[in-house]
Structure 1
């Protein structure tokens, strides 16, 4: 088995303005990077990651900072597993938040059913919320480089939300005599 290689970015940026530092951190986290410590992060080696990290390196220079971008591999299997575990933990944290939002979605529909609110306006609102969940899960999946443990649960939960909305939609149609 070939050991995975990573792109390692180390950087130092001026403390002010803080907004630029935070924006940089957000961009890197948005790419799925894991931080080994302040100013040191990793991404799986991929052409897209290399291109984007080179752009970030230029942005850091424009901020008056310094950056070094390297390709690296783990010293041994144990170190490799530590890195992969960090990636999985970061994604699982996102999946947990996603699962919480799925529960909110399910509770909202249960509330509407409990008060017999079967309107097209409510259905449209719930459909919009489901589309947000679908998009969010897709964004998490794109950053799930090493199959986090909660990935399957999140996918199943989204399917349950989709089925729940289909069931609610049928009740809205029935309540509004769409099928008669």
Structure 2
């Protein structure tokens, strides 16, 4: 493993108003930051992260708060690996939650299939849910800087959800009256 450079942001903001503190935390977590402790977080060093952290540093100072932005490396290989494990653990936690939602999606399709609830409205609702899953996985993957172990399982589960919805869509289509071949209808010529 080559030496990895990180951006280290340390900050202190007033406890009130809490909404500003929470918004700051959300913004940093939304970038994929790992917190080493309260007010101390890391991101892999990239131009994008540097630019965004400088903006956040200015926001912190306008709260008013204090912020210091540094570039850092691990003292040795073991320290660097500890940091990478923290990043992958955070992503695996997000992937686990995603996989649980895939299970919920699969259960919903199974319930609708068992009840023979083959309507366009239900198909549209499930299609919207699948699009949300796709967007969610893409967001997690953007923050998966070190290829967390559960990433491949999450991709496989999403593919299963896509295939399941395709099967359900065929069942919905086949169940609709306008799609059935009427016995008195002339057969189409080949």
Q: Distance in 2 between matches of 1:80 and 1:54?
A: 23
* Partner-residue secondary structure (3-state), 1:57: helix
Which residue does the alignment assign to 2:23?
Answer: 23
Structure 2's unaligned 5+ residue stretches are: 182-190
1:107: Cα distance to partner? 0.3
TM-score, normalising length: structure 1: 0.98
Structure 1 residues without counterparts, runs of 5 or longer:
none
Secondary structure of 2:148's aligned partner: coil
Report the number of matched residues: 180
Q: Deviations over 1:11-33 (max 9, x none)?
A: 00011111100100000000000
Corresponding residue of 1:107: 107
* 3-state SS of paired residue (1:6): strand
CA offsets, 1:43-100, max 9 Å, x none?
A: 0000110000000000000001000000011111110010000000000010000001
Question: In the aligned structure 1, how far is the partner of 2:180 from the partner of 2:78?
Answer: 61
Q: 1:136 to 1:69 in 2, by over 3 A?
A: same
Larger Rg: 2
C-alpha distance in 2 between matches for 1:18 and 1:127: 37
Residue 136 of structure 2 corresponds to: 136
The RMSD of aligned alpha carbons is 0.9
- Runs (4+) of structure 1 moved beyond 4 Å? none
Give matches, 1:53-132, under 5 Å: 53-132=53-132
Distance in 1, matches of 2:120 and 2:84, equals: 46
* TM-score between both structures, scaled by the size of structure 2: 0.93
Q: Which string of whole-angstrom CA distances, capped at 9 and with x for unpartnered residues, describes residues 95-118 of structure 1?
A: 000001000000000000010000
